[in-house]
């Protein structure tokens, strides 16, 4: 595995590449052209410039998160052909710049859903949290307004204000799209992408739906082992793979994370590792520190499953807490993600050495 951190680009991120460079073991960033709208073609010159900028700081681009998918592709409207052609052109431009990993998601309307961006924990840190009661009480059209005041002035991924202004139209677009239709549209999209992915060896890594169940009656498909295996089989090419995000699959306590990792062996191209603490079963959870003891997951078992299945892609500490007075994009401050990276590196080193040397040497 390769430890990385996500970086949104100099114009959007509060964290600097020079700071990321100082996190032990981190040589790669997962980045994006954050201002590109879903459906736009990413110009090769801009990808090239981004690459140079990252390399000038002594780092490299380990992958892209995300190239967002236009809603026309998800709902399967006739104009999807144009948007798929644009997506392919973007992949070509990434391939020409020697980039081989693309994370994306296939969630309708909203990307991840949280009801609080700054819930205070007993140690004074603040974290993203989800409460079913809050979701149930919320008019989805008000979802964005309800959290807009907590973004610390940043633009959150998937929650771009221009998109959120059109939430009503977006809901109308998905009126006739159920899980089966969404699945068929995903398969259609992936089949069209595979030739370019094969030509440039680009691994597509779908990010799970977060939380891993339907919110506001919208279809959700990338939520459990059965559905992902179905998707991997439907387009049975190694370039059709997944981003294993423990904090997203883990929202559903029925998902056995180490078991899923083993079942997806060979098709996990990217890993997001974070911990959650459940307060009232799945009705309420918050994003804890990465340390196993701080949340509900056994992080050692998650890392061990990745190790044992020969995972060799980029990994990143997913969201971190806001600590030490930092003001940053919720989930994406420097300090707690750096602690997460160090902890995950420590687990990995211990697992690797125990495996290769044995405990008694
Ligand atoms: C990420 C997602 O910040 C997060 O929660 O895990 O926004 C992720 O980047 C996208 O869903 C991937 O397309
Ligand atoms: Mn994630």
Q: Where are the domains of the chain?
A: 2-357
Alpha-carbon span 298 to 286, nearest angstrom? 16
The dihedral through the CA atoms of 343, 29, 155, 92 has a sign that is negative
Atom of ligand 1 nearest to the CA of 68: 13
Tell the CATH topology of 2-357.
Answer: TIM Barrel (3.20.20)
* Residues 35-56, mean pLDDT to the nearest whole number: 97
| 162 CA to centre of ligand 2 in angstroms | 23
Alpha-carbon span 266 to 103, nearest angstrom? 16
Q: How confident is the model at residue 361 (pLDDT cuts 50, 70, 90)?
A: low
Percent of residues, the chain, with pLDDT higher than 70: 99
Return the ligand number nearest the Cα of 315. 2
Q: What is the DSSP letter of 294?
A: G
R_g of the chain, CA atoms, integer Å: 19
Alpha-carbon span 221 to 209, nearest angstrom? 7
Residue 157 Cβ contacting ligand 1 at under 6 Å? yes
End-to-end CA distance of the chain: 24
Judge contact between 287 and 331, C-beta under 8 A: yes
Enter the tokens of residue 102: 């693309």
Q: Is the pLDDT of residue 323 over 70?
A: yes
Alpha-carbon span 224 to 244, nearest angstrom? 11
Beta-strand pair 276-278/284-287:
antiparallel
Atom of ligand 1 nearest to the CA of 243: 12
What tens digit of pLDDT does each residue of 218-270 get? 999 999 999 999 999 999 999 999 999 999 999 999 999 999 999 999 999 99
Q: Is the pLDDT of residue 165 over 80?
A: no
* Residues 299-321, mean pLDDT to the nearest whole number: 97
Q: 185 vs 71, 72, 256, CA distance in Å? A: 11, 10, 27
Half-sphere exposure of 100 (CA within 13 A, CB side): 11
* Residues 356-361, mean pLDDT to the nearest whole number: 76
Enter the tokens of residue 204: 């597509």
Q: With the CA atoms of 52, 57, 63 and 66 taken in that order, what torsion angle do they form, in degrees rounded to the nearest 10?
A: -90
This prediction's pTM: 0.95
Which region among 45-49, 189-193, 356-360 has the lowest average model confidence (pLDDT)? 356-360
Other CB atoms within 10 Å distance of the CB of residue 198: 12
Q: Whose CA is nearest to atom 6 of ligand 1?
A: 318
Q: How confident is the model at residue 157 (pLDDT cuts 50, 70, 90)?
A: confident
Please list the residues that pair with 272 across neighbouring strands.
245, 316
The more confident residue out of 220 and 161 is 220
């Amino acid at each position: 595995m390769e430890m990385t951190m996500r970086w949104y680009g100099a114009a959007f991120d509060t964290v600097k590449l020079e700071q990321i460079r100082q996190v032990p073991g981190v040589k790669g960033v997962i980045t994006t052209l954050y201002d590109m709208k879903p459906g736009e073609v990413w110009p090769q010159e801009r990808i090239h410039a981004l690459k140079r900028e990252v390399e000038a700081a002594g780092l490299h681009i380990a992958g892209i998160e995300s190239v967002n998918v236009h809603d026309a592709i998800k709902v399967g409207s006739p104009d999807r052909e144009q948007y798929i052609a644009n997506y392919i052109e973007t992949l070509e431009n990434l391939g020409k710049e020697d980039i081989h990993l693309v994370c994306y998601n296939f969630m309708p309307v909203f990307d991840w859903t949280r009801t609080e961006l700054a819930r205070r924990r007993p140690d004074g840190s603040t974290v993203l949290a989800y409460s079913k009661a809050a979701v149930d009480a919320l008019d989805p059209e008000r979802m964005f307004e309800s959290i807009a005041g907590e973004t610390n002035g940043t633009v959150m991924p998937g929650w771009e204000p221009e998109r959120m202004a059109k939430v009503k139209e977006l809901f109308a677009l998905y009126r006739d799209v159920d899980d089966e239709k969404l699945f068929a549209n995903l398969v259609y999209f992936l089949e069209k992408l595979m030739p370019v992915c094969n030509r440039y060896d680009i691994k597509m890594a779908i990010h799970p739906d977060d939380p891993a169940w339907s919110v506001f009656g919208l279809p959700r498909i990338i939520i459990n082992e059965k559905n992902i295996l179905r998707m991997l089989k439907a387009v049975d090419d190694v370039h059709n793979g997944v981003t294993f995000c423990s904090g997203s699959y883990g929202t559903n306590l029925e998902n056995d994370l180490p078991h899923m990792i083993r079942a997806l062996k060979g098709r996990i191209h990217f890993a997001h590792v974070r911990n959650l603490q459940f307060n009232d079963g799945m009705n309420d959870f918050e994003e804890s520190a990465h340390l196993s003891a701080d949340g509900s997951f056994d992080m050692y078992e998650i890392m061990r499953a990745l190790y044992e299945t020969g995972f060799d892609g980029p990994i990143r500490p997913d969201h971190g807490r806001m600590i030490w007075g930092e003001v940053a994009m919720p989930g994406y401050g420097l300090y707690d993600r750096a602690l997460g990276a160090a902890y995950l590196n420590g687990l990995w080193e211990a697992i690797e050495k125990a495996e290769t040397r044995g405990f008694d040497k």
